[in-house]
Structure 1
C-alpha cells in the first residue's frame, strides 16, 4: 500500500489565511518543517527508486547546460507514489488551500545542483507563453544555501509582465527584491507560476537536491 503524507491542522484551509496574504503580496511563501523527518526519509527513498528506474543521474555536463540542467520532470509517469502525491497528497492539499482554487496537477520534478557545475538556472517564471496562474511547491531534500545554489525569488515579480523567456534580459538579480531561500530538508518554498525565480551554480562541496510539485489553478 502506498503511504501518502498527511496535511497537519496548521496548514489546513483555516491555517492558510495568513500565508495567503503573504503569498499574494510577495508571490511566494516558505514553510519550515513542511515534512517531518520520517516523511523526508520516505521522499528521498521514493525519489532514489524513481530515478534508478529510469537510470537518471546528474553529471557536470548535464547540470551545466544553459536552461534547465539537473532537472527531471514528470516523475509521476514513472512512479505510482509520485502520481498519488501529485494528484491528492500533502503537496496537492496545501497548494489547494493556499490558492483557494481547484487545481490541475501538472508535473512532479527532481532538481539537483552538484558541486563543480558551471551554470545555474537563469531568471524565469513558470507560465511562460500563456501566463496562466498556478503554483509550485518546492521541497528541500538537502540543506539549500547560497553557496550550493539555493533558489532565489524576486518578491512582487508576479505582478509584473516580464518577457516570455528563460534568462529575462536585463533582469537585476542583485536588486532589493532578490530573496535567497536558504532552507533545510523538509522545508518547502511555494511560488506563483508568475514569480520570477532562479538559482546560481553550486560553488560548494555539497549537492543540493529538491522535489517540486507543480499545479495550475482551475
Structure 2
C-alpha cells in the first residue's frame, strides 16, 4: 500500500500541530512541524539582533540558521533544535508568537524554509502542518486538510497550552494576537493562508481532540487505499 503526503493548513490555535503529530503517529508517518521552523527562525533572528525585513540582514541570518527535529527518548515527543540547541519551550512563548508573522512575510526566508520542507517530505509518508502547505509546499499533496475553529475556542486552547508550559497570559491578549495573526497570514503577498479548492475543511470548534484526529485519519486511510 503506497504512502501519501498529508498537508494540514489552517488558522493559529486550531490544534494543527498536535493533531498532525497524532495522525502521523497512528499512520507511522514522519511529522514535519513547519510552524516550529518559522518560530525557530524568529528566535534566531531575535537572538542575533537581526531584522528579517532588511534584505541584507535576512541573508545574514539565513547563513547561520540550522533547524532540525529530534525525538526525546524519555517522552517520545518530537522537539525542535536551533543550531544544535533544544528550543522547544522557547519558541512557544508569546514573545515569539508576537513576532513570527512578521518574519513569515519575508519572501527570501519563506523560500528557504519551503525548500527545506520540500526536501524533508520528498519521500512521502509525511504529515506536515502550517499555513501554505497545500498551496505552496506540497501543492500536489494526496490529502489536503484545512482546519478551522472560532476565535474564542482557539484562544482558550492556546491559553491552556501556555499554562501547561508555566506561562500565564490573559485570554484577551491571546485573542488579539490570534486575530492579528489571522489578518497578517491571510493578507500577506507571499504565500497567504488560504483554503485550496481540493482541501477538506475540518471545523474543530465542537470536536474533541480525539474526534478531530480520528476524522483526519479516516480521510487519510481512504486516500491510502486508493493509492
TM range (shorter): under 0.3
TM-score computed with the length of structure 2 as normaliser: 0.25
TM-score by length of 1: 0.26
Structure with the higher fraction of residues in strand conformation:
1
